[in-house]
Structure 1
Amino acid sequence: MRFDPFREIEELTQRMDRAFGNGIAAQTARLAPPVDVHEDEGGLELTLDLPGVQPADIQIEAENQTLTVQAKRNYTRGEGRTAHRVERAYGTFSRTFSVPAKYDLTKVEAEFDHGTLTLRVPRSEAAQKRTVQVRTGGQLSAPKTVDAAQTTPATSDTPATETQNAEVSQGA
């Protein structure tokens, strides 16, 4: 088994918590669910694992280029039951993500399914790809895509420069 200093530190922290009686309270402070963040041309997608959390106990706030997710997982101990070990994290957590300005936080969508919260943050309109028309000879013409292998013969009526308009994409 390889030496993992982070695991050793975590185990030491857990032993200290148990020794000083901070069992459940200390685990509550460390409750931070794992998250996956993906990006594509449509925007960002954040996926958080929230097992045991009820949808009513999830709060999502989006403002000032930050996205905050808060959730609560309650611990219930039945009457007449003794807890010999409580390792799962309970309580409230808050996780904040900085979101670049090219994403529109006013259009965040959230979906909660089988303990997985998925947040979708679309790109803002200003950051969307768009087509720019190119003027040739002072005239605005419809954009066309020209294949580099394709040759267009010039006629006496139409100069070669006007038949080879190109589509220009401006990326975000």
Structure 2
Amino acid sequence: MPKVNIAPWNPLEEMLPLREAMSQLLGESFVRPGESPRSQGEVAAPVDISETPQAFFVEVAMPGLKSEDLHITIENNVLTIKGEVRREEQPERTYHRVERRYGAFERSMTLPNTVKSDAIRASLKDGVLMLEIPKAEEVKPRRINVSVGS
């Protein structure tokens, strides 16, 4: 009778490939707090949002993005950034690995009602799109005098 090596069954060992696949899937698609679930496209567009007392700042890392391939709109306090990172292949080269992401992307985020949407400034430098969104001055309560008479 042939010998058979019997090792105790470890169910966790069989689950490791599943766990790795789930981690990768969730890492690519999970919406973290403060991020918008409305992001589409082949290219991930990571966004940082910060603020000062005067303005909000949105920074989007987009290496290889050109300003002519970028479209920014604001409608009903929803800021939408669309663009496309184009791949410029070198025909004389043989590519062995391409890890940088190329293609279209779209990010949308709802802005607070307290911004001056008509004064947003945008600049693109070193692969980072920077949006400065000024805050509107707070509406201060004021006293209204009531006149007596006709």
TM range (shorter): 0.5 to 0.7
Q: Is 1:75 equivalent to 2:87 in the alignment?
A: yes
**Which residue number corresponds to residue 97 of structure 1?**
109
Q: Number of residue pairs matched? A: 114
**Which residue number corresponds to residue 50 of structure 2?**
38
Q: Deviations over 1:41-80 (max 9, x none)?
A: 1021111111111122111111111111112111122224
Q: Deviations over 1:108-148 (max 9, x none)?
A: 111111111110111124x26x6979xxxxxxxxxxxxxxx
**How large is the Cα RMSD of the aligned pairs?**
2.9
**Unpaired segments of 5 or more residues in structure 1?**
14-27, 134-172
Flag the structure with larger Rg: 1
Q: Is 1:63 equivalent to 2:75 in the alignment?
A: yes
TM-score normalised over the length of structure 1: 0.56
Higher relative contact order (CA 8 A, sep 6+): 2
**Unpaired segments of 5 or more residues in structure 2?**
1-15, 29-39, 144-150
What SS does the aligned partner of 1:82 have?
Answer: coil
**Which residue number corresponds to residue 52 of structure 1?**
64
Q: Percent identity?
A: 27
What SS does the aligned partner of 2:90 have?
Answer: coil
